[in-house]
């Protein structure tokens, strides 16, 4: 299986960009490059380009794909790359967001790691495995600073919504949910390569980071493994709003809610990364340390 995944990651795919994009949501939330350079930039950048092509291929393949990883673990100057869209984006918008993220990461030139987080998507690459990371130093909340609302009711509704999103999302297949309640719109998402417990841990940190934002009209929290956002704007389509109640009951029946393929895929990825990665534990640099939010 691992050999199959490896082979798969060596295939080169082509892609033609879509000329029409409605809203790829490329409002920048977080950007940074590692301070360490790779030993052979020519080889590394070729591996990185090919990994981006693999990510594009997965997202292009199916209109419901919003998550992909690519890796060249055995290559000289190895590359690991992870990409995630908010699932309410159209496929064209998701691909446009990926393209914008790639352009942004070219500024990292020869650095051995880089990440960019937009409202609409998240792209990260490293020279060592990181797909399992949930919360890391540098996680941060981003408040809009705009407060044009009837504060008390909005604050209470926003606080309740982000708390419920953080509780529900780890229990939901695909680790994404959007909900609207009392005029507050919110989404939460984890990367699909972590387990339920790690998703939950990451979102609890995100919750702590976003809790000071209300009554600001918008708040976000970003981390290596998760994303949390609320707004008074309807920033996702109404049909993406889910009733969270069934996912909020305490209980141990949450595991049966996972569809088999998702948990299987997650297991596979992690097992392969463990087998193929040489440096699973000791990552040479912290993820969000290098640049503050602009
Ligand atoms: C890394 O490479 C870039 C561009 O090639 C260079 O400007 C920078 O000084 C290098 N950084 C280190 C720490 O060597
Ligand atoms: C990687 O892709 C970028 C953009 O398409 C290109 O400018 C660059 O030359 C490529 N680098 C390598 C090493 O292939
Ligand atoms: C595209 O989807 C098909 C069917 O779901 C799958 O068999 C194939 O591996 C996918 N290819 C890529 C590049 O993801
Ligand atoms: C890349 O860096 C240059 C110079 O440091 C800067 O002028 C430019 O705006 C940056 N581009 C992106 C996409 O970050
Ligand atoms: C919402 O509607 C859009 C467009 O009609 C559709 O593509 C999407 O799958 C729907 N989402 C859900 C969660 O039903």
DSSP annotation string for the chain: -HHHHHHHHH--------S--S-----EEEEEE-SPBPS-HHHHHHHHHHHHHHHHHHHHH-TT--EEEEEETTSSS-EEEEEEE-TTS-HHHHHHHHHHHHHHHGGGTTBSEEEEEESSEEEEEESS--TT----TT-EEEE-----S-HHHHHHHHHHHHHHHHHHGGGSTTSEEEEEETTEEEEEEE-TTS-HHHHHHHHHHHHHHHTT-TTSSEEEEE-SSEEEEEESS--S-GGGB---GGGTS--SGGGGGS-HHHHHHHHHHHHHHHHH-S-SS--SS-SS-S----
Look at residue 250 in the predicted model and tell me its pLDDT: 65
| Edge-to-edge strand list for the sheet holding 79-85 | 28-33, 113-118, 121-126, 79-85, 67-72
Do 142 and 294 meet the contact criterion of CB atoms below 8 Å apart? no
**Structure tokens of 132?**
């399992």
Look at residue 55 in the predicted model and tell me its pLDDT: 98
What pLDDT digit, counting tens, does each position of 100-124 carry?
Answer: 999 999 999 999 999 999 999 999 9
Look at residue 74 in the predicted model and tell me its pLDDT: 84
For the chain, domains (ranges, CATH) are 2-129 (3.30.430.20), 140-258 (3.30.430.20)
Global pTM value: 0.81
Give, for ligand 5, the residue of 22, 64, 240 to mutate: max count of ligand atoms closer than 8 Å to Cβ. 240
Q: Which atom of ligand 1 is nearest to the CA of 111?
A: 1
pLDDT < 70 positions in the chain: 1-21, 149-150, 250-294
Closest ligand by atom to 43 CA = 2
What are the residues facing 290 on neighbouring strands? none
Pocket of ligand 4 (CB under 6 A): 103-104, 107
Per-residue burial over 55-81, b = 16 or more CB atoms within 10 Å of its CB, e = otherwise: bbbbbbeeeebbbbbbbbbebebbbbb
Torsion sign, CA atoms 286, 78, 117, 234 = negative
Look at residue 151 in the predicted model and tell me its pLDDT: 76
**168/188 Cα distance (integer angstroms):** 9
Among protein residues, the one whose CA lies closest to atom 2 of ligand 2: 49
Per-residue burial over 93-111, b = 16 or more CB atoms within 10 Å of its CB, e = otherwise: bbbbbbbbbbebbeebeeb
Do 288 and 224 meet the contact criterion of CB atoms below 8 Å apart? yes
Look at residue 136 in the predicted model and tell me its pLDDT: 95
> Torsions phi, psi of 187, nearest 5?
-135, 155
Among protein residues, the one whose CA lies closest to atom 3 of ligand 1: 110
What pLDDT digit, counting tens, does each position of 126-177 carry?
Answer: 999 999 999 999 999 999 999 876 678 999 999 999 999 999 999 999 999 9
Torsion sign, CA atoms 49, 102, 142, 150 = negative
Look at residue 75 in the predicted model and tell me its pLDDT: 79
Ligand 2 pocket, 49 CB below 6 A? Answer: yes
């Amino acid at each position: 299986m691992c050999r199959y995944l490896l082979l798969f990651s060596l295939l080169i795919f082509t892609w033609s960009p879509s000329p029409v994009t409605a809203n790829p949501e490329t409002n920048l939330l977080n950007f940074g490059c590692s301070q360490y350079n790779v030993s052979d930039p020519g080889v590394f950048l070729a591996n990185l380009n090919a990994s981006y092509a693999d990510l594009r291929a997965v997202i292009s393949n199916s209109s419901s794909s919003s998550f992909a990883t690519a890796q060249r673990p055995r290559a000289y100057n190895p590359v690991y790359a992870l990409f995630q869209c908010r699932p309410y984006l159209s496929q064209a918008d998701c691909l446009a967001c990926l393209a914008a993220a790639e352009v942004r990461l070219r500024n990292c030139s020869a650095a051995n790691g880089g990440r960019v987080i937009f409202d609409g998507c998240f792209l990260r690459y490293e020279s060592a495995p990181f797909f399992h990371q949930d919360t890391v130093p540098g996680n941060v909340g981003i408040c809009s600073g705009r407060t044009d609302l009837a504060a008390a009711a909005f604050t209470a509704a926003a606080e309740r919504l982000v708390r419920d999103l953080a509780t529900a999302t780890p229990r939901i297949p695909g680790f994404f949910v959007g909900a609207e309640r009392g005029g507050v719109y919110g989404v939460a998402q984890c990367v699909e390569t972590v387990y339920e417990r790690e998703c939950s841990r990451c979102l609890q940190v995100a919750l702590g980071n976003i809790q000071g934002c209300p009554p600001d009209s918008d708040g976000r929290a970003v981390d290596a493994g998760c994303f949390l956002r609320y707004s008074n704007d309807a920033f996702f389509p109404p049909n993406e709003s889910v009733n969270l109640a069934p996912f909020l009951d305490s209980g141990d029946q949450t595991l049966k809610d996972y569809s088999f393929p998702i948990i299987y895929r997650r297991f596979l990825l992690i097992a392969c990364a463990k087998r193929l990665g040489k440096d699973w534990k000791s990552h040479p640099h912290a993820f969000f340390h290098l640049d503050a939010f602009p």
